[in-house]
């Protein structure tokens, strides 16, 4: 049996507010582009995909980006949570995730000028035209992301209305049974489009200096936190760097994280990139972990690390060094839905202490 003193950091529970994740191996949000009717309703694919990871031992299982409004979808086949039909299908999925012992989490998103695009596995790239179920996108700017159609610039009143749309989606998420709501402010999507000086060229109260560029996010956090139960968790995903000169950076990420922690954000999910096509990313194992380390050290908020964290010993070392409080596993989790179970075996966790479903317990014995 694994004792408290010998339990790897990856397998120590983490409690935030009233929510406890059984371990610190969490499934990152990853788009599946699999809503068959193009109506944003999650399907059996989503149930099996997310359910397999819950039964595979993850402590927290997060959905893909769920659009808060139809025009916020990355592709016509993306999931949403702007109506009751979507909410009901998410409820089925959240219930199953919880039944497997994992914490159900949902990411709320608006893709802004990077919406209405073809799926990665389609035969076409770029923006989807109206005749193929595409739509005119919106943004902080009227300048296009390279290779995409130009968006319509939102006016000041339209921007001011966005936090209420995020809050309405958060209310639906709670009714669907999710314990965690994450705001997607990364990867060049709408909230990030306001944060980044490379994309936000506004001269109203939502642009200009740091306070102006972060205003929409702050207002959105306030609106969402106000509708969440006291015990529900609120995360924010940031791109800690635009990887381009003059862009959003880790210092600004830490600065706003510190402010948001005072406004009820429970954890910051630290990723990077996506705002502009001319980014120059230095990619390698754990390449985003230094950003997580800096935000954790100076932002005054728990953080999760993500990005090319593929091996159990690597993930364990990140936690042991104090670089992060939890690990989001992304593409390695697509390859291996039971990654946490392998991690436990490799790190010496006793088989009785591994989160095997009872139907799979025989697999715990070598």
Question: What positions carry a catalytic annotation?
Answer: 189
Instruction: Encode 240-253: b = buried (16+ Cβ within 10 Å), e = exposed.
Output: bbbbbeebbbbebb
The SS3 assignment for 186 reads coil
Are 317 and 338 in contact by the 8 Å Cβ rule? The answer is no
DSSP 51: H
Instruction: Encode 8-29: b = buried (16+ Cβ within 10 Å), e = exposed.
Output: bbbbeebebbebebbbbbbbbb
Torsion, Cα 354 357 182 70, to 10 degrees, reads: 150
For residues 209 and 154, give the distance between their C-alpha atoms in angstroms, rounded to a whole number.
Answer: 18
DSSP 68: S
Tokens, residue 252 = 């600004």
The CB-side HSE value for 129 (13 A sphere, CA atoms) comes to 2
Euclidean distance between the first and the last CA atom of the chain, given in angstroms as a whole number: 15
For residues 267 and 12, give the distance between their C-alpha atoms in angstroms, rounded to a whole number.
Answer: 17
Helices (H), 300-338: 312-320, 331-335
Tokens, residue 93 = 């999925």
């Amino acid at each position: 049996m694994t004792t408290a003193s010998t339990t790897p950091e990856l397998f120590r529970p983490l409690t935030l507010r009233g929510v406890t994740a059984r371990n610190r191996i969490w499934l990152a949000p990853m788009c599946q582009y699999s809503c068959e009717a193009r109506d944003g309703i999650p399907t059996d694919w989503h149930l099996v995909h997310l359910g397999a990871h819950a039964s595979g031992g993850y402590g927290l299982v997060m959905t893909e980006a769920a659009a808060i409004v139809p025009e916020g979808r990355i592709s016509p086949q993306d999931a949403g949570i702007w109506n009751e039909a979507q909410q009901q299908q998410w409820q089925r999925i959240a219930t199953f995730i919880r039944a497997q012992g994992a914490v159900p989490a949902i990411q709320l998103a608006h893709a802004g000028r990077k919406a209405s695009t073809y799926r990665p596995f389609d035969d076409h790239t770029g923006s989807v035209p109206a005749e193929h179920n595409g739509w005119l996108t919106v943004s902080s700017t009227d300048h296009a992301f390279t290779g995409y159609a130009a968006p319509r610039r939102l006016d000041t009143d339209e921007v001011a209305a966005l936090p209420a749309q995020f809050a309405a989606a958060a209310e639906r998420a709670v009714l669907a049974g999710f314990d965690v709501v994450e705001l997607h402010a990364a990867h060049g999507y709408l909230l990030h489009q306001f944060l980044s000086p490379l994309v936000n060229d506004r001269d109203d109260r939502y642009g200009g200096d740091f306070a102006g560029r972060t205003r929409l996010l702050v207002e959105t956090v306030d609106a969402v936190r106000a509708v969440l139960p006291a015990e529900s968790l609120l995360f924010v995903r940031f791109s800690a760097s635009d990887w381009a000169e003059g862009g959003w950076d880790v210092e600004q990420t830490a600065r706003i994280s510190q402010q948001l922690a005072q406004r009820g954000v429970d954890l910051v999910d630290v990723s990077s990139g996506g705002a502009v096509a001319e980014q120059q990313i230095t990619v390698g194992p754990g390449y985003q972990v230094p950003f997580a380390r800096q935000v954790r050290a100076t932002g005054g908020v728990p953080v999760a690390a993500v990005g090319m964290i593929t091996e159990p010993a690597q993930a364990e070392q990140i936690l042991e060094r104090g670089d992060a409080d939890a690990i989001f596993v992304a593409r390695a989790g697509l390859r291996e839905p039971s990654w946490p179970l392998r991690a436990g075996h490799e790190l010496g966790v006793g088989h009785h202490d591994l989160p095997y479903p009872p139907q799979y317990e025989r697999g715990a014995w070598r």
